[in-house]
Structure 1
Amino acid sequence: MFTSVDDVRDRLAGTGYLASPSVATAVFLAARLGKPLLVEGPAGVGKTELAKAVARVGGARLVRLQCYEGVDESRALYEWNHAKQLLRISAGRDESWDETRTDIFGEEFLLARPLLTAIRGDDPKVLLVDETDKADIEVEGLLLEVLGDFQVTVPELGTITATRRPFVVLTSNASRELSEALRRRCLFLHLDFPDEELERRIVRTRVPGLDETLAAALVRVVGALRAMDLRKAPSVAETIDWARTLLALGAGTLDEVLVRDTLGVVLKHQEDVVRATARLDLDAL
Protein backbone atom coordinates (compact mmCIF):
# COMPACT_ATOMS: atom_id res chain seq x y z
CA MET A 1 0.00 0.00 0.00
CA PHE A 2 2.84 2.41 0.88
CA THR A 3 6.41 2.58 -0.38
CA SER A 4 7.94 4.59 2.46
CA VAL A 5 7.17 6.66 5.54
CA ASP A 6 7.34 9.82 3.41
CA ASP A 7 4.84 8.23 1.00
CA VAL A 8 2.45 7.66 3.92
CA ARG A 9 2.78 11.26 5.08
CA ASP A 10 2.31 12.71 1.60
CA ARG A 11 -0.65 10.55 0.66
CA LEU A 12 -2.43 11.11 3.96
CA ALA A 13 -1.87 14.84 3.53
CA GLY A 14 -3.59 14.53 0.16
CA THR A 15 -6.75 13.49 2.01
CA GLY A 16 -6.45 16.37 4.47
CA TYR A 17 -4.92 14.30 7.30
CA LEU A 18 -1.61 15.83 8.43
CA ALA A 19 0.41 13.07 10.09
CA SER A 20 3.36 13.57 12.41
CA PRO A 21 6.50 11.49 11.73
CA SER A 22 5.54 9.00 14.46
CA VAL A 23 2.05 8.53 13.00
CA ALA A 24 3.35 8.10 9.45
CA THR A 25 5.95 5.58 10.67
CA ALA A 26 3.36 3.55 12.60
CA VAL A 27 1.00 3.39 9.61
CA PHE A 28 3.84 2.37 7.28
CA LEU A 29 4.99 -0.43 9.60
CA ALA A 30 1.45 -1.69 10.19
CA ALA A 31 0.91 -1.93 6.44
CA ARG A 32 4.32 -3.46 5.72
CA LEU A 33 4.22 -6.02 8.56
CA GLY A 34 0.52 -6.82 8.26
CA LYS A 35 -0.05 -6.01 11.93
CA PRO A 36 -3.08 -4.31 13.50
CA LEU A 37 -2.44 -0.78 14.75
CA LEU A 38 -3.69 0.08 18.25
CA VAL A 39 -4.10 3.86 18.52
CA GLU A 40 -4.59 5.18 22.03
CA GLY A 41 -5.13 8.72 23.23
CA PRO A 42 -7.68 11.30 24.35
CA ALA A 43 -10.92 11.76 22.46
CA GLY A 44 -10.89 14.04 19.45
CA VAL A 45 -7.22 13.84 18.46
CA GLY A 46 -7.82 12.08 15.13
CA LYS A 47 -7.72 8.36 15.93
CA THR A 48 -10.86 7.47 13.99
CA GLU A 49 -10.00 9.96 11.24
CA LEU A 50 -6.67 8.19 10.75
CA ALA A 51 -8.46 4.94 9.81
CA LYS A 52 -10.76 6.83 7.46
CA ALA A 53 -7.80 8.58 5.81
CA VAL A 54 -5.95 5.28 5.29
CA ALA A 55 -9.08 3.85 3.66
CA ARG A 56 -9.35 6.84 1.31
CA VAL A 57 -5.67 6.62 0.39
CA GLY A 58 -5.88 2.92 -0.41
CA GLY A 59 -9.24 3.09 -2.17
CA ALA A 60 -10.40 0.60 0.46
CA ARG A 61 -13.79 -0.05 1.96
CA LEU A 62 -14.04 1.09 5.59
CA VAL A 63 -15.65 -1.56 7.81
CA ARG A 64 -16.40 -0.15 11.27
CA LEU A 65 -17.17 -1.98 14.49
CA GLN A 66 -18.34 0.63 16.98
CA CYS A 67 -17.76 -0.78 20.44
CA TYR A 68 -19.98 -0.10 23.43
CA GLU A 69 -20.89 -1.79 26.68
CA GLY A 70 -22.97 -4.84 25.83
CA VAL A 71 -21.79 -5.38 22.25
CA ASP A 72 -21.67 -9.15 21.74
CA GLU A 73 -20.71 -11.81 19.21
CA SER A 74 -23.89 -11.43 17.17
CA ARG A 75 -23.26 -7.68 16.76
CA ALA A 76 -19.53 -7.99 16.14
CA LEU A 77 -19.12 -11.24 14.21
CA TYR A 78 -22.24 -12.74 12.65
CA GLU A 79 -25.74 -14.01 13.30
CA TRP A 80 -28.31 -16.08 11.46
CA ASN A 81 -31.38 -14.58 9.86
CA HIS A 82 -33.87 -16.42 12.04
CA ALA A 83 -36.98 -14.98 10.39
CA LYS A 84 -35.80 -16.11 6.97
CA GLN A 85 -34.83 -19.52 8.34
CA LEU A 86 -38.33 -20.02 9.77
CA LEU A 87 -39.88 -19.14 6.41
CA ARG A 88 -37.58 -21.65 4.70
CA ILE A 89 -38.51 -24.36 7.21
CA SER A 90 -42.22 -23.67 6.68
CA ALA A 91 -41.83 -23.80 2.90
CA GLY A 92 -39.95 -27.10 3.03
CA ARG A 93 -42.30 -29.21 5.11
CA ASP A 94 -42.21 -32.02 2.56
CA GLU A 95 -38.40 -32.24 2.75
CA SER A 96 -36.39 -34.23 5.24
CA TRP A 97 -34.95 -32.36 8.22
CA ASP A 98 -31.40 -33.10 7.05
CA GLU A 99 -32.07 -31.37 3.73
CA THR A 100 -33.72 -28.41 5.42
CA ARG A 101 -30.99 -28.05 8.05
CA THR A 102 -28.25 -28.02 5.41
CA ASP A 103 -30.11 -25.31 3.53
CA ILE A 104 -30.94 -22.95 6.39
CA PHE A 105 -27.36 -22.86 7.60
CA GLY A 106 -26.06 -21.75 4.22
CA GLU A 107 -24.64 -18.43 3.04
CA GLU A 108 -28.08 -17.12 2.10
CA PHE A 109 -29.12 -17.01 5.75
CA LEU A 110 -25.86 -15.69 7.22
CA LEU A 111 -25.79 -12.06 8.36
CA ALA A 112 -22.15 -10.99 8.41
CA ARG A 113 -21.25 -8.32 10.97
CA PRO A 114 -18.12 -6.13 10.84
CA LEU A 115 -15.47 -8.66 11.94
CA LEU A 116 -16.63 -11.33 9.49
CA THR A 117 -17.24 -8.79 6.73
CA ALA A 118 -13.68 -7.49 7.07
CA ILE A 119 -12.01 -10.83 6.32
CA ARG A 120 -14.28 -11.98 3.50
CA GLY A 121 -13.79 -11.12 -0.15
CA ASP A 122 -10.81 -9.98 -2.18
CA ASP A 123 -11.49 -6.24 -2.16
CA PRO A 124 -9.24 -4.00 -0.03
CA LYS A 125 -10.68 -3.12 3.36
CA VAL A 126 -9.78 -1.13 6.44
CA LEU A 127 -11.25 -2.60 9.63
CA LEU A 128 -11.84 0.06 12.28
CA VAL A 129 -12.56 -1.29 15.77
CA ASP A 130 -13.56 2.00 17.35
CA GLU A 131 -13.41 2.68 21.10
CA THR A 132 -12.27 -0.86 21.86
CA ASP A 133 -11.97 -0.04 25.55
CA LYS A 134 -15.75 0.41 25.81
CA ALA A 135 -16.45 -3.22 24.89
CA ASP A 136 -16.65 -6.01 27.46
CA ILE A 137 -13.61 -8.21 28.00
CA GLU A 138 -15.38 -11.10 26.22
CA VAL A 139 -15.27 -9.20 22.94
CA GLU A 140 -11.48 -9.21 23.14
CA GLY A 141 -11.63 -12.99 22.77
CA LEU A 142 -13.29 -12.54 19.38
CA LEU A 143 -10.67 -9.99 18.39
CA LEU A 144 -7.82 -12.34 19.34
CA GLU A 145 -8.92 -14.95 16.80
CA VAL A 146 -9.60 -12.42 14.09
CA LEU A 147 -6.43 -10.38 14.61
CA GLY A 148 -4.19 -13.32 15.40
CA ASP A 149 -4.88 -15.49 12.36
CA PHE A 150 -7.34 -13.35 10.41
CA GLN A 151 -9.88 -16.09 10.52
CA VAL A 152 -13.33 -16.68 11.98
CA THR A 153 -14.90 -20.00 12.93
CA VAL A 154 -18.59 -20.43 12.15
CA PRO A 155 -19.56 -23.86 13.58
CA GLU A 156 -22.14 -24.54 10.86
CA LEU A 157 -19.79 -23.53 8.01
CA GLY A 158 -16.28 -24.14 9.34
CA THR A 159 -13.32 -21.78 9.51
CA ILE A 160 -13.32 -18.78 7.20
CA THR A 161 -9.82 -17.45 6.53
CA ALA A 162 -9.04 -14.11 4.94
CA THR A 163 -7.77 -14.31 1.38
CA ARG A 164 -6.80 -10.64 1.62
CA ARG A 165 -6.01 -9.22 5.04
CA PRO A 166 -7.58 -5.91 5.95
CA PHE A 167 -5.60 -3.01 7.35
CA VAL A 168 -6.75 -2.95 10.98
CA VAL A 169 -6.98 0.06 13.29
CA LEU A 170 -8.16 -0.29 16.88
CA THR A 171 -8.80 2.91 18.83
CA SER A 172 -8.95 3.36 22.58
CA ASN A 173 -9.51 6.29 24.91
CA ALA A 174 -7.93 4.22 27.72
CA SER A 175 -11.10 4.20 29.83
CA ARG A 176 -10.09 0.65 30.79
CA GLU A 177 -6.91 -1.35 30.34
CA LEU A 178 -6.89 -3.64 27.31
CA SER A 179 -5.53 -7.16 27.76
CA GLU A 180 -1.85 -7.88 27.18
CA ALA A 181 -2.83 -10.65 24.76
CA LEU A 182 -4.58 -8.11 22.54
CA ARG A 183 -1.77 -5.59 22.82
CA ARG A 184 0.82 -8.22 21.79
CA ARG A 185 -0.94 -8.68 18.47
CA CYS A 186 -0.77 -4.97 17.64
CA LEU A 187 1.65 -2.20 16.92
CA PHE A 188 1.07 0.62 19.40
CA LEU A 189 0.69 4.33 18.71
CA HIS A 190 -0.10 6.98 21.31
CA LEU A 191 -1.81 9.90 19.63
CA ASP A 192 -1.78 13.04 21.76
CA PHE A 193 -2.67 16.66 21.12
CA PRO A 194 -0.43 18.01 18.34
CA ASP A 195 2.15 20.70 18.93
CA GLU A 196 1.19 24.28 18.12
CA GLU A 197 2.73 24.35 14.66
CA LEU A 198 1.08 21.11 13.53
CA GLU A 199 -2.29 22.08 14.96
CA ARG A 200 -2.13 25.41 13.14
CA ARG A 201 -1.46 23.54 9.87
CA ILE A 202 -4.35 21.18 10.60
CA VAL A 203 -6.72 24.10 11.18
CA ARG A 204 -5.59 25.85 8.02
CA THR A 205 -6.05 22.62 6.03
CA ARG A 206 -9.50 21.82 7.40
CA VAL A 207 -10.74 25.44 7.44
CA PRO A 208 -8.93 26.98 4.47
CA GLY A 209 -10.86 30.25 4.56
CA LEU A 210 -9.58 31.17 8.01
CA ASP A 211 -6.99 33.96 8.22
CA GLU A 212 -3.53 32.68 9.14
CA THR A 213 -3.08 35.18 11.98
CA LEU A 214 -6.48 34.32 13.43
CA ALA A 215 -5.71 30.59 13.15
CA ALA A 216 -2.47 31.11 15.08
CA ALA A 217 -4.26 33.07 17.81
CA LEU A 218 -6.97 30.42 18.05
CA VAL A 219 -4.44 27.62 18.49
CA ARG A 220 -2.63 29.56 21.21
CA VAL A 221 -5.90 30.04 23.13
CA VAL A 222 -6.74 26.35 22.81
CA GLY A 223 -3.26 25.49 24.12
CA ALA A 224 -3.85 27.76 27.12
CA LEU A 225 -7.19 26.04 27.80
CA ARG A 226 -5.54 22.61 27.72
CA ALA A 227 -3.01 23.79 30.30
CA MET A 228 -5.83 24.49 32.76
CA ASP A 229 -7.24 21.90 35.12
CA LEU A 230 -10.43 21.36 33.12
CA ARG A 231 -12.89 18.51 33.33
CA LYS A 232 -12.59 18.02 29.57
CA ALA A 233 -9.78 19.68 27.64
CA PRO A 234 -10.66 20.79 24.10
CA SER A 235 -9.70 18.32 21.37
CA VAL A 236 -8.38 18.95 17.88
CA ALA A 237 -11.88 18.33 16.54
CA GLU A 238 -13.16 21.12 18.77
CA THR A 239 -10.37 23.44 17.65
CA ILE A 240 -11.57 22.88 14.08
CA ASP A 241 -15.17 23.51 15.14
CA TRP A 242 -14.11 26.77 16.78
CA ALA A 243 -12.26 27.82 13.65
CA ARG A 244 -15.38 27.17 11.56
CA THR A 245 -17.41 29.15 14.09
CA LEU A 246 -15.10 32.17 13.78
CA LEU A 247 -15.24 31.93 10.00
CA ALA A 248 -19.04 31.77 10.06
CA LEU A 249 -19.14 34.86 12.30
CA GLY A 250 -16.80 36.75 9.99
CA ALA A 251 -14.35 37.34 12.86
CA GLY A 252 -11.12 39.17 12.11
CA THR A 253 -9.58 39.02 15.57
CA LEU A 254 -10.00 36.92 18.69
CA ASP A 255 -11.00 39.37 21.40
CA GLU A 256 -12.26 38.76 24.92
CA VAL A 257 -15.95 39.22 24.06
CA LEU A 258 -15.79 36.81 21.11
CA VAL A 259 -13.98 34.18 23.16
CA ARG A 260 -16.51 34.44 26.00
CA ASP A 261 -19.47 34.21 23.62
CA THR A 262 -18.15 31.17 21.77
CA LEU A 263 -16.46 29.14 24.53
CA GLY A 264 -19.35 26.68 24.40
CA VAL A 265 -18.01 25.45 21.07
CA VAL A 266 -14.89 24.01 22.71
CA LEU A 267 -15.83 23.56 26.38
CA LYS A 268 -18.72 21.26 27.20
CA HIS A 269 -19.08 21.68 30.97
CA GLN A 270 -20.23 24.81 32.80
CA GLU A 271 -17.52 24.57 35.43
CA ASP A 272 -14.90 24.56 32.66
CA VAL A 273 -16.47 27.64 31.06
CA VAL A 274 -16.47 29.46 34.41
CA ARG A 275 -12.84 28.52 35.14
CA ALA A 276 -11.65 29.47 31.66
CA THR A 277 -13.49 32.80 31.71
CA ALA A 278 -11.87 33.70 35.03
CA ARG A 279 -8.34 32.56 34.20
CA LEU A 280 -7.83 33.08 30.49
CA ASP A 281 -5.59 36.09 29.79
CA LEU A 282 -5.71 36.91 26.07
CA ASP A 283 -3.22 39.72 26.44
CA ALA A 284 -0.58 37.24 27.58
CA LEU A 285 -1.05 35.01 24.53
Structure 2
Amino acid sequence: MPSSLLVDNLATQVASLWRRKQAPLLLAISGMQGSGKSTLSQNLIKQLYGDNITGVAVSLDDFYFDANERAQLAQQVHPLYQQRGLPGSHDLALLQQVLCDFKQQRALLLPVFDKASDNKLSKSQWRPVPEGAQVLIVEGWCVGVTAQPAAQLGYDVNDFERKHDHDGYFRHCVNRLLATNYQEVFEQFDGLVFLNGQSFSRVYRWRLQQEHALRAQTGKGMTDEEVLAFIQPFQRLSEWAVTSLSESANVVVDLGEDREVLTVRGQL
Protein backbone atom coordinates (compact mmCIF):
# COMPACT_ATOMS: atom_id res chain seq x y z
CA MET A 1 0.00 0.00 0.00
CA PRO A 2 1.45 3.42 -0.92
CA SER A 3 1.94 5.73 2.07
CA SER A 4 -0.61 8.17 0.65
CA LEU A 5 -3.28 5.47 0.84
CA LEU A 6 -2.30 4.75 4.44
CA VAL A 7 -2.77 8.44 5.31
CA ASP A 8 -6.15 8.49 3.55
CA ASN A 9 -7.18 5.30 5.36
CA LEU A 10 -6.18 6.59 8.79
CA ALA A 11 -7.66 10.05 8.21
CA THR A 12 -11.00 8.45 7.37
CA GLN A 13 -10.85 6.37 10.54
CA VAL A 14 -9.86 9.33 12.72
CA ALA A 15 -12.65 11.49 11.26
CA SER A 16 -15.18 8.73 11.87
CA LEU A 17 -14.00 8.24 15.47
CA TRP A 18 -14.14 11.97 16.13
CA ARG A 19 -17.68 12.22 14.77
CA ARG A 20 -18.75 9.31 16.98
CA LYS A 21 -17.24 10.90 20.09
CA GLN A 22 -18.08 14.53 19.33
CA ALA A 23 -15.27 15.49 21.69
CA PRO A 24 -11.57 16.36 21.45
CA LEU A 25 -9.71 13.26 20.31
CA LEU A 26 -6.32 12.01 21.55
CA LEU A 27 -4.49 9.73 19.11
CA ALA A 28 -1.18 7.94 19.77
CA ILE A 29 1.25 6.81 17.08
CA SER A 30 3.97 4.39 18.19
CA GLY A 31 6.82 2.63 16.42
CA MET A 32 10.53 1.95 16.68
CA GLN A 33 13.06 4.62 15.76
CA GLY A 34 13.11 5.52 12.08
CA SER A 35 9.76 3.90 11.30
CA GLY A 36 8.17 7.15 10.10
CA LYS A 37 6.06 8.27 13.05
CA SER A 38 6.73 12.00 12.63
CA THR A 39 6.13 11.95 8.89
CA LEU A 40 2.88 10.02 9.30
CA SER A 41 1.70 12.35 12.07
CA GLN A 42 2.31 15.49 10.02
CA ASN A 43 0.74 14.05 6.87
CA LEU A 44 -2.26 12.89 8.85
CA ILE A 45 -2.75 16.38 10.32
CA LYS A 46 -2.64 17.84 6.79
CA GLN A 47 -5.14 15.31 5.49
CA LEU A 48 -7.53 15.93 8.39
CA TYR A 49 -7.34 19.67 7.73
CA GLY A 50 -8.49 18.96 4.21
CA ASP A 51 -11.46 17.15 5.74
CA ASN A 52 -12.27 20.20 7.91
CA ILE A 53 -10.87 18.66 11.09
CA THR A 54 -8.22 20.73 12.86
CA GLY A 55 -5.42 18.82 14.51
CA VAL A 56 -1.91 19.19 15.86
CA ALA A 57 0.91 16.71 16.51
CA VAL A 58 3.59 16.63 19.18
CA SER A 59 6.42 14.22 19.91
CA LEU A 60 6.97 12.46 23.20
CA ASP A 61 10.55 13.75 22.81
CA ASP A 62 9.30 17.27 23.52
CA PHE A 63 8.45 16.16 27.06
CA TYR A 64 11.97 15.15 28.07
CA PHE A 65 13.21 16.37 31.41
CA ASP A 66 15.90 19.01 31.04
CA ALA A 67 19.54 17.95 31.41
CA ASN A 68 19.83 19.12 35.02
CA GLU A 69 16.65 17.27 36.02
CA ARG A 70 17.93 14.05 34.47
CA ALA A 71 21.26 14.59 36.22
CA GLN A 72 19.40 14.57 39.54
CA LEU A 73 17.65 11.32 38.59
CA ALA A 74 20.99 9.85 37.58
CA GLN A 75 22.41 10.72 40.99
CA GLN A 76 19.39 9.62 43.01
CA VAL A 77 18.22 6.52 41.10
CA HIS A 78 20.58 5.22 38.41
CA PRO A 79 23.31 6.76 36.19
CA LEU A 80 21.49 5.73 33.01
CA TYR A 81 18.75 8.27 33.71
CA GLN A 82 21.20 10.93 32.51
CA GLN A 83 20.44 9.78 28.97
CA ARG A 84 17.19 10.95 27.42
CA GLY A 85 14.91 8.55 25.60
CA LEU A 86 13.95 5.70 27.92
CA PRO A 87 10.90 5.68 30.21
CA GLY A 88 11.77 7.80 33.22
CA SER A 89 13.32 10.61 31.17
CA HIS A 90 9.95 12.24 30.36
CA ASP A 91 8.04 14.90 32.29
CA LEU A 92 4.80 12.93 32.60
CA ALA A 93 3.16 15.55 34.82
CA LEU A 94 3.54 18.07 32.00
CA LEU A 95 2.23 15.59 29.45
CA GLN A 96 -0.78 14.77 31.64
CA GLN A 97 -1.53 18.47 31.98
CA VAL A 98 -1.34 18.96 28.21
CA LEU A 99 -3.71 16.04 27.59
CA CYS A 100 -6.13 17.29 30.25
CA ASP A 101 -6.09 20.87 28.95
CA PHE A 102 -6.68 19.64 25.41
CA LYS A 103 -9.65 17.51 26.41
CA GLN A 104 -11.08 20.42 28.40
CA GLN A 105 -10.48 22.71 25.39
CA ARG A 106 -8.41 25.15 27.41
CA ALA A 107 -5.83 27.46 25.85
CA LEU A 108 -2.73 25.34 25.42
CA LEU A 109 0.95 25.55 24.52
CA LEU A 110 2.94 22.51 23.42
CA PRO A 111 6.51 22.25 24.74
CA VAL A 112 9.47 22.20 22.36
CA PHE A 113 12.60 20.30 23.38
CA ASP A 114 15.86 21.51 21.85
CA LYS A 115 18.17 18.51 21.49
CA ALA A 116 21.15 20.74 20.73
CA SER A 117 20.99 22.40 24.15
CA ASP A 118 19.46 19.29 25.80
CA ASN A 119 16.72 21.44 27.33
CA LYS A 120 13.21 22.60 26.57
CA LEU A 121 12.93 25.98 24.93
CA SER A 122 11.49 28.83 27.00
CA LYS A 123 7.70 28.92 27.15
CA SER A 124 7.67 31.97 24.88
CA GLN A 125 8.84 29.60 22.12
CA TRP A 126 6.34 26.81 22.77
CA ARG A 127 3.76 26.03 20.08
CA PRO A 128 0.18 27.21 20.54
CA VAL A 129 -2.57 24.72 19.79
CA PRO A 130 -5.06 26.15 17.28
CA GLU A 131 -8.27 27.29 18.96
CA GLY A 132 -10.94 24.63 18.69
CA ALA A 133 -8.53 21.90 17.60
CA GLN A 134 -10.29 18.57 17.49
CA VAL A 135 -7.40 16.08 17.31
CA LEU A 136 -4.09 15.90 19.19
CA ILE A 137 -1.57 13.32 18.01
CA VAL A 138 1.24 12.23 20.35
CA GLU A 139 3.94 10.17 18.64
CA GLY A 140 6.85 8.37 20.24
CA TRP A 141 8.84 5.17 20.11
CA CYS A 142 7.55 3.84 23.45
CA VAL A 143 4.02 5.28 23.41
CA GLY A 144 1.56 2.60 24.44
CA VAL A 145 4.20 0.10 25.50
CA THR A 146 3.29 -1.95 28.57
CA ALA A 147 5.54 -3.41 31.24
CA GLN A 148 7.39 -6.58 30.31
CA PRO A 149 6.68 -9.90 32.05
CA ALA A 150 9.10 -10.35 34.93
CA ALA A 151 10.66 -13.42 33.32
CA GLN A 152 11.92 -11.30 30.42
CA LEU A 153 13.92 -9.04 32.73
CA GLY A 154 16.28 -11.79 33.83
CA TYR A 155 18.63 -11.68 30.85
CA ASP A 156 20.64 -9.06 28.94
CA VAL A 157 19.58 -8.34 25.36
CA ASN A 158 22.85 -6.76 24.18
CA ASP A 159 26.30 -5.49 25.14
CA PHE A 160 24.90 -2.22 26.46
CA GLU A 161 22.91 -4.01 29.16
CA ARG A 162 25.78 -6.34 29.99
CA LYS A 163 28.02 -3.33 30.57
CA HIS A 164 25.68 -0.76 32.13
CA ASP A 165 22.86 -2.81 33.73
CA HIS A 166 24.42 -6.16 34.54
CA ASP A 167 22.38 -6.50 37.74
CA GLY A 168 19.10 -5.57 36.01
CA TYR A 169 18.32 -2.74 38.42
CA PHE A 170 17.75 -0.12 35.73
CA ARG A 171 15.48 -2.26 33.56
CA HIS A 172 13.39 -3.10 36.63
CA CYS A 173 13.06 0.64 37.40
CA VAL A 174 11.93 1.29 33.81
CA ASN A 175 9.48 -1.61 33.98
CA ARG A 176 7.86 -0.29 37.17
CA LEU A 177 7.38 3.11 35.55
CA LEU A 178 5.81 1.50 32.49
CA ALA A 179 3.42 -0.43 34.69
CA THR A 180 2.32 2.65 36.64
CA ASN A 181 3.04 6.28 35.66
CA TYR A 182 3.25 5.67 31.92
CA GLN A 183 0.09 3.57 31.77
CA GLU A 184 -1.81 6.37 33.52
CA VAL A 185 -0.85 8.58 30.57
CA PHE A 186 -1.41 5.98 27.84
CA GLU A 187 -4.90 5.23 29.15
CA GLN A 188 -5.93 8.76 28.13
CA PHE A 189 -5.63 8.01 24.42
CA ASP A 190 -8.70 7.25 22.33
CA GLY A 191 -6.75 5.19 19.82
CA LEU A 192 -3.28 3.78 19.15
CA VAL A 193 -1.64 3.25 15.76
CA PHE A 194 1.48 1.05 15.78
CA LEU A 195 4.02 1.21 12.95
CA ASN A 196 5.36 -2.31 13.18
CA GLY A 197 8.96 -2.31 11.95
CA GLN A 198 8.97 -6.06 12.73
CA SER A 199 12.72 -6.38 13.44
CA PHE A 200 15.01 -4.25 15.57
CA SER A 201 17.85 -4.93 13.11
CA ARG A 202 16.11 -2.49 10.76
CA VAL A 203 16.57 0.38 13.21
CA TYR A 204 20.31 0.39 12.65
CA ARG A 205 19.91 0.59 8.87
CA TRP A 206 17.20 3.25 9.06
CA ARG A 207 19.24 5.38 11.45
CA LEU A 208 22.33 4.98 9.26
CA GLN A 209 20.35 6.33 6.32
CA GLN A 210 19.33 9.35 8.39
CA GLU A 211 22.85 10.04 9.66
CA HIS A 212 24.46 9.62 6.23
CA ALA A 213 21.96 12.08 4.78
CA LEU A 214 22.64 14.50 7.65
CA ARG A 215 26.41 14.31 7.14
CA ALA A 216 25.98 14.86 3.41
CA GLN A 217 23.90 17.98 4.08
CA THR A 218 25.66 19.49 7.08
CA GLY A 219 28.97 17.70 7.46
CA LYS A 220 27.85 16.66 10.96
CA GLY A 221 26.36 13.46 12.30
CA MET A 222 27.16 10.24 14.10
CA THR A 223 29.57 7.67 12.73
CA ASP A 224 28.28 4.18 11.98
CA GLU A 225 29.80 2.95 15.26
CA GLU A 226 28.15 5.76 17.21
CA VAL A 227 24.79 4.95 15.66
CA LEU A 228 25.14 1.32 16.73
CA ALA A 229 25.97 2.38 20.31
CA PHE A 230 23.17 4.97 20.35
CA ILE A 231 20.37 2.53 19.51
CA GLN A 232 21.31 -0.25 21.95
CA PRO A 233 19.44 1.18 24.98
CA PHE A 234 16.21 1.01 22.97
CA GLN A 235 16.48 -2.61 21.83
CA ARG A 236 14.73 -4.25 24.77
CA LEU A 237 11.50 -2.26 24.64
CA SER A 238 11.48 -1.96 20.85
CA GLU A 239 11.47 -5.74 20.55
CA TRP A 240 8.86 -6.03 23.29
CA ALA A 241 6.67 -3.53 21.43
CA VAL A 242 6.81 -5.65 18.26
CA THR A 243 5.42 -8.55 20.28
CA SER A 244 2.92 -6.72 22.47
CA LEU A 245 1.64 -3.77 20.42
CA SER A 246 1.17 -5.99 17.37
CA GLU A 247 -1.62 -7.57 19.41
CA SER A 248 -2.97 -4.67 21.46
CA ALA A 249 -2.85 -1.58 19.21
CA ASN A 250 -6.08 -0.49 17.57
CA VAL A 251 -4.38 -0.27 14.16
CA VAL A 252 -1.20 -2.15 13.25
CA VAL A 253 0.72 -1.09 10.14
CA ASP A 254 3.20 -3.80 9.12
CA LEU A 255 6.25 -2.30 7.42
CA GLY A 256 8.75 -3.83 5.01
CA GLU A 257 12.53 -3.41 4.81
CA ASP A 258 12.25 0.03 3.22
CA ARG A 259 9.37 1.19 5.43
CA GLU A 260 6.85 0.34 2.74
CA VAL A 261 3.37 -0.50 4.01
CA LEU A 262 2.67 -4.23 3.70
CA THR A 263 -0.60 -4.62 5.59
CA VAL A 264 -2.92 -2.56 7.77
CA ARG A 265 -4.83 -4.40 10.46
CA GLY A 266 -7.51 -3.22 12.86
CA GLN A 267 -9.78 -0.22 13.29
CA LEU A 268 -9.90 2.90 15.45
Normalised by the size of structure 1, how large is the TM-score? 0.36
Normalised by the size of structure 2, how large is the TM-score? 0.38
> Between Structure 1 and Structure 2, whose CA radius of gyration is higher?
1
**Which of 1 and 2 has higher RCO (CA within 8 Å, sep 6+)?**
2
